[in-house]
Amino acid sequence: MGSEIYNTRNVYLRCMAAIYLSAFTSFYVQIRGLYGPNGILPSHATLGIQDKRHFFDKFWENPTLLHLAPVFGLTVSYCMELFALTGILLSFLGLVYQKICNLFIFFTLWLLYLSLYKVGQTFLHFQWDIMLLESGFITIVVAPILFSEKRKTTPRDQLCFWLVKWLLFRLMFASGVVKLTSKCPTWWNLSALTVHYESQCIPAPLAWYLHQSPVWFHKLSVVATYVIEIALPFLFFAPFRKLRLFSCYGQMLLQVMIIASGNYNFFNLLTITFCFSLMDDRHLFGLQNNKKASAMENTVTGITLGLLIYFTVLWFGIDLGKEVPVHSEIQFSAKDFERALKLAVATSIAIGAISFFFTACTSLYDLVFRSRSSLFEYILNVIQYVTYFTVACFLFGISLVPFSTLDPATRTSLPVFLNRWHGQFDQFHLTSSYGLFRSMTGVNGRPEVILEGATELQGPYNEISFKYKPGQIERPCPFIVPYQPRLDWQMWFAALGTYHHNPWLVSLTYRILTNESDVINLLDSNIYNEFEEDWPPKYIKGSLYTYKYTSSSDHSVTDNSWKRTRVSDYLPIFSSDHEPLIKYLENQRILGQPDITLTNTLLASFLDKVWVICSATEPHIFIWALLVSAFVVTRLS
């Protein structure tokens, strides 16, 4: 048998359970405000309640178990709560008990999250959501059918675990490449991080301090990002452990820095989880330490790292400057990069294919020549291996379709049947394209929409505060990982466009005017004190501001993290009886859509009581309480 990964695989599975726990919990506490009957985007409007077709016909077109809401006697939003709570319970049990981490549990978790995603609309359509769906399906393949006490790596484990490595490669390589293919000036002149810390969606407290770093340090950090995201992923497939582990810890370092500087929910933790595919039991648990690296491995590792340093210095013009400690500047043109990218995409697919089939062949060799099982077990292992090999081939094949979008020429050269397969199963999100931080926004300051309410048309207008996004300049953004406040995130996107492209924002305004408590709960609880007896406001308008971090000298005087400048009006003045507003929301199917009749009042009452308990504390604290509780139970059991 090749490298033992039995324990490493188990760590990966429990980490995936922890990710699911964070994702379901984060989503659960926001369902009523986002998707309730009087929420911002009522979920029942997306399902076609009057559709009388057979369940499986509706499911294939729109794969969500929420079609079964009438069977449970619940409204769609109540059913969403039921599914989210089920996901929380199953993932908690999987995190606590290794025996629970089997194929059936992870299939259920994936199906539940897919069901919620399909009605999540704009609030659930983020790259980490589709990445959780893809990695969640791969985890179904990685997980054992039933947990066994036999502590050994089976022939199919290496093959299935390889799919996680391939996903990690596609994620990191694409994330690095799109920064340059976007032609964003800040990525090309290496100044992106001089903007990033203040312009990201919800900065962490450390972001202000990192923003104060000198420009040369920011540029050098961008160079390191390119090396980690574009060059190091090729070492994932290196035949030597030292190179794989070096690339592994490079990825982890980048993710830890992102976690420290910004609030990106479970995304970075999920990426770190993928990195376990680059490890084995020998490294992770200190097993077989008597095996030392060969002279050849040490030599190749040294040469590889030397070449990596040499080409980094060459391509990014790194030298010790006179005016700045370290000078760096990209030494290649956009056309040079396009030519290199065409070769790199084709080469990476070839390397991936070779690595995949080499892994498959070594696993098959172990099965045929190293098996110590009985004839009956041997036959079962062969059947299992053939089945999983077929599934792995299918997942690898269709993953080439979104990955090859990095280079149009490579995309057109793919076999037609791969594109057909990808299209036929696209609604299940088995594989997707990725590319984070494609271009840098907020170069001249981050745009921010500020809602303001008043009891009189003429004013005065008071600011309506959100919990987490930048608002009042004296309040820094908190650290809330792994929670994602999806409304606050969408407010960041809204500021990049107009309200005409964000009907949910118009709906939010109406829900505030009508004082919908579930929606108000998504806002800062201090708004009641700020407005005193004038809540709810009779009129709401929106203004566009530009926010910038204060300098160190300004911060020492005012203690404010932000300074802001009003740019223009964003939202016109709305009132709850404004007829064009109501007509617009009706046309958007936000108002006036019938929901499923609630008949299961007993279950609904139970869900109400659970909701009160779970919403009694801050969401990120609630998530960490669940994670810590699971860890404590694990250590005590």
Is there a domain that residue 183 lies in? no
pLDDT at position 1 is: 45
* DSSP letter assigned to residue 36: S
Q: Per residue, what are the HEC states of 368-383?
A: HHCCCCCHHHHHHHHH
Shared domain check, 356 and 291: no
- Which of 42, 62, 118 lies closest to 593 in space, CA to CA? 42
Question: Which of residues 424, 443, 462 is at a domain's end?
Answer: 443
Q: Do residues 17 and 139 both lie within one domain? A: yes
Query: Where a domain ends, among 409, 443, 477?
Result: 443
User: Does 511 lie in the same domain as 396?
Assistant: no
Are residues 551 and 494 part of one domain?
yes
In this structure, what is the dihedral angle of CA atoms 523, 524, 529, 533, given to the nearest 10 degrees? 0
Instruction: Please check whether residues 421 and 486 belong to one and the same domain.
Output: no
Is residue 310 domain-resident?
yes
Regarding whether 137 and 4 lie in a shared domain, the answer is yes
Q: Which helix (H) or strand (E) holds 602?
A: helix 601-614
Count of residues making up the chain:
637
Q: Judge residue 443's burial from the number of C-beta atoms within 10 Å of its C-beta, 0-12 exposed, 13-18 middle, 19 or more buried.
A: middle
Domain-ending residue, one of 307, 329, 351: 329
Q: Can you give the pTM of this predicted structure?
A: 0.96
| pLDDT the model gives residue 290 | 52
Evaluate whether residue 173 is within a structural domain: no
The answer as to whether 605 is a domain residue is: yes
Same domain (yes/no): 1, 142: yes
The reply to whether 176 falls in a domain is no
Is residue 397 located within the same domain as residue 451?
A: no
User: Does residue 178 lie within any of the structural domains?
Assistant: no
Q: State the Rg of the chain over Cα.
A: 26
- Residue-range definition of the domain harbouring residue 255: 190-329
Note the pLDDT of residue 54: 82
- How many other C-beta atoms can be found within 10 angstroms of the C-beta atom of residue 140? 19
Residues 106, 213, single domain; the answer is no
Residues of the chain with pLDDT under 50: 1
Are the CB atoms for 510 and 53 separated by under 8 Å? no
What is the tally of structural domains in the chain?
4
In a domain, 182, yes or no: no
- Number of Cβ within 10 Å of residue 555's Cβ equals 17
Report d(CA 375, CA 370) in Å as an integer.
13
The edge-to-edge listing of strands for the beta sheet with 562-574 is: 462-463, 446-454, 539-549, 562-574
Q: Is residue 184 part of a domain?
A: no
Tell whether 35 and 133 lie within a shared domain: yes
Residues 453 and 430 both lie in one domain: no
**145, 16: one domain:** yes
